[in-house]
Amino acid sequence: MFEGELTDRVAIVSGASRGIGQAIAVAMAKAGAKIVLSASKIENLKETESQIKALENAECILTQADVSIGDEVNQVVKIALDTYGKVDILVNNAGTTKDNLLALMSEKDWDTVLSTNLKSVFLFCKACIRPMVRQRSGAIINISSVSGISGNPGQSNYAASKAGIIAATKSMAKELASRKIRANCIAPGFIETAMTKKLPGNVIEAVMKQVALGRFGQPKEIADTAVFLASDAASYITGQTIVVDGGLVI
């Protein structure tokens, strides 16, 4: 469906070492984009690189950054521009969790989650906006969560960061529309990743009772949504949050 949709475009994908980020990077490469992979450690990107290089005519480069540090984020974008001369697509996927009840949550765990999940979106978007404005085109896709819409017990830090992403995306969509730059969110529900596989059976059973479609989502289903939002097929969509949750928060 999406083969060739992103031909000759350059995409930066943060948090690309596994799960949803890895699936998005591979799907965009399959759709023809050149991929700039980012993770906290280069070696963590080797599996994603292997999957991309197995595709015909696919291309990627590996970068390393602490996404909460501006200079390191700026270096990722500089490498992308030095290598390919432009940035067409930015996918902010990097994220972490430090779950606890609010009364027991440490200040450090609050700050870590907000810096990794929300500040990183600010830093990457700010770094990419200037080249996108120059070329008068661009697609920004920020990965939020249904937790940022409905909240979740034990995740006040995570929910706050993901709700902040939604609000920031709406603001940047309004700021950047005149420059032909679109900004949208994807809010995944429960997606089958290494993290969800660790959930106890009773938790999984309780979750399935809430999901209308009765199953976990697959990373590819988030990736296909990201490819759509990055493509010309979504040229009239900006400032939106696309919920991909199997009917969890209907």
- 3-class DSSP assignment, residue 41: coil
- 3-class DSSP assignment, residue 10: strand
Q: Say whether 158 is catalytic.
A: yes
122 vs 5, 67, 168, 250, CA distance in Å? Answer: 27, 10, 8, 29
- Provide the H-helix boundaries in 97-236: 107-114, 120-135, 147-150, 156-176, 194-197, 201-210, 219-230
Q: Which member of 158, 190, 216, 228 is catalytic?
A: 158
- 3-class DSSP assignment, residue 187: strand
In contact, 211 and 157? CB cutoff 8 Å: no
Residue with tokens 């991309």: 52
In contact, 168 and 92? CB cutoff 8 Å: no
Residue numbers annotated as active site: 158
